[in-house]
A and B are shown apart, each in its own frame.
Chain A
Amino acid sequence: MGLGGYITQFLFPLLIAAKVTVQVSLGAFMFAIATGLILATFRYLLPIALIRLPIAVFVEIFRNVPSLTHLFIIYFGLAYVGIRFGSISSAIIALGLIGGATLTDVFRAGFEAVHAGQREAALAVGMTPRLAFREIILPQTWRVTLPPIGNYAVQLVKDTSLVAAIAAPEVMFTARNLVVTTFETSIIYAFAAGVYLLLCLPLSRFAKTLEQRMAIPR
């Protein structure tokens, strides 16, 4: 079989499967951003143990257990207790929660990186803490948090490959199926890796650019 044959037979199905990879990535990304931003904001505005403790527990649990374990708990475990999610929904929920924990930490560090004087100046002119957060702190955190968010996005796209383990029809899963029917193992997995490169390289280049631009103090 020539290269053209390989491309039509293997690369095209993989590229079509990339749609699911992108779908899961986008869904989990939005889920993670929302979770991280909300939890970090709560933690910042309400510095009491009643709020901080459950958030800390959430963050530590999702950061110290493998993604695959969370994925299996949500897909197999929850089904066992009667809560049934499809493989794609399970993937979005699991990866979204894991990302939410990561980004909670990222945003927290971002808020802390804003000089205390910025908040003082806002309070001194008569802003409430909430207004100071919205108008002064939050707009300044993006500079510090965008690069790690970019890195996280790259990591996320790669982590969607784990979803193959719960039979979501994304790139890795499709690759396995192609292997089973054709036995062209090395070429198919190389193509699969290539598809991820295609998705991740531009993303990581973009993250790198952000990082370099943001690293220069304004």
Chain B
Amino acid sequence: MTISRKDIEKVAVLARIRVDEEQVSALEKDLGNILDLVDQLSAADTDSVAPMAHPLDAVQRLRPDEVTETNEREAFQAIAPATENGLYLVPRVIE
């Protein structure tokens, strides 16, 4: 199955990954091959089958609504590219 240049560009935006011109051609080929592989799934009869998200059909555990963790902001922010007053600094979002 082929994936168009437009689809690749759209998906790159969704994935927040910059893809330039030369890369799009390679991706057209590679992603096309992968999607060819994936198309084999359409041969399977899955009409009365429930999707399986977890091998043991387990569900999310819940715990009591009590505070048990301590704030370790300093340790976690020590490895950040840029911080100020406990906030993470990033380039301006809105002009």
Is chain B found bound to chain A in the same assembly?
A: no
A residues apposed to B, CB below 8 Å: none
Chain B contacts to A: CB under 8 angstroms: none
